[in-house]
Amino acid sequence: MHQGWPKFIKTLWRAIRDNGLAAVVFAPSVVDTTVGNGVKVIINEETNYPFDEKITFKISCAEKALFPLKLRIPAWCTNASIQVNGVWQKEPKAGSYYILKQVWAHDTVTLTLPMKVRISYWHNNSAGIEFGPLIFSLKIGEEWKKLKGNDPYADWEVYPTTPWNYALELDTKNPETSFMVVRQAVCRQPFDSQNPPIVLKAKGRRLPGWQLVNNSAGDVPKSPVTSAEPPENIELIPYGAAKLRISQFPFIEK
């Protein structure tokens, strides 16, 4: 992470032709630079993305300046919207950059990226569950055992304390009907398995034949599957919050 975070921050903003700026990756940030013909500008980006849909850019120029501002519209978002000082703009196209070119002074741009549940398909037709820009994993109880070393640089093993071999009950044609989206406050460490900002609640059934092989989950059964086990309430959390991960699920088609 000592390398990841600095590189992530470096990719948030880019200078572009016509002496403008592009918001490439979204995160809370402040960019302090010059645009146009050397006019000083500060853009304060306020957001809880990727856990929230709204991204606000507060633009402050030392003097009025004409320059383009490009906003990346993710390919997964088919109904994004943009407002400039409360005025709706032409509908953006998914998987493209939207260019706002005007004279800026002290302005506010609001980009909204509505999120919905989507399914991607993987090995043995297993289902990956995505919500907005996030991939989700089964929430699994964790038991941590120290192997050696001294904190905070010790080596640990993590063992599951709850079942993991579930098949999702899934409506593949209308996946949003198979999940309840629960949003919570974004804490200081958002990728915390005990307090994630977004939880997807679903129904699953155990697959007794899906067992460990060499202390890892065995080959995922080919979907759709069947199970005589009773349905259970299960939770999915963002992939980054899960330390033990089942992220490609067999499914029972509803």
- What confidence tens digit (pLDDT) does each residue in 83-97 have? 999 999 999 999 999
Give the pLDDT band (50/70/90) at residue 2.
low
Residues 6+ apart with CB under 8 A from 194: none
Reported confidence tier of residue 1, pLDDT bands at 50, 70, 90? low
Sort strands 134-138 and 232-238 into parallel, antiparallel or unpaired. antiparallel
The answer to whether residues 134 and 50 touch, using CB atoms and an 8 Å cutoff, is yes
Asked if pLDDT for residue 18 goes beyond 70, the answer is yes
If we measure between CA atoms, which residue out of 20, 23, 17, 44 comes closest to residue 32?
44
Query: Which two structure tokens, joined as six digits, stand for 153?
Result: 């640089």
- pLDDT of 107 over the 80 cut: yes
- Of 171-175, 205-209, 211-215, the one with minimum mean pLDDT is 211-215
Distance between CA atoms of 219 and 212, rounded to whole angstroms?
9
pLDDT tens per residue across span 216-227? 899 999 999 999
Range 92-104 average pLDDT:
97
pTM of the predicted protein model: 0.92
Give the pLDDT score at 6.
Answer: 83
CB atoms within 10 A of CB 74: 16
Residues of the chain with pLDDT > 90: what percent? 90
- Rounded mean pLDDT, 22-48: 95
Tokens of 171: 């409506």
164 dihedral zone (left: phi>0; alpha: psi -120 to 50; beta): alpha
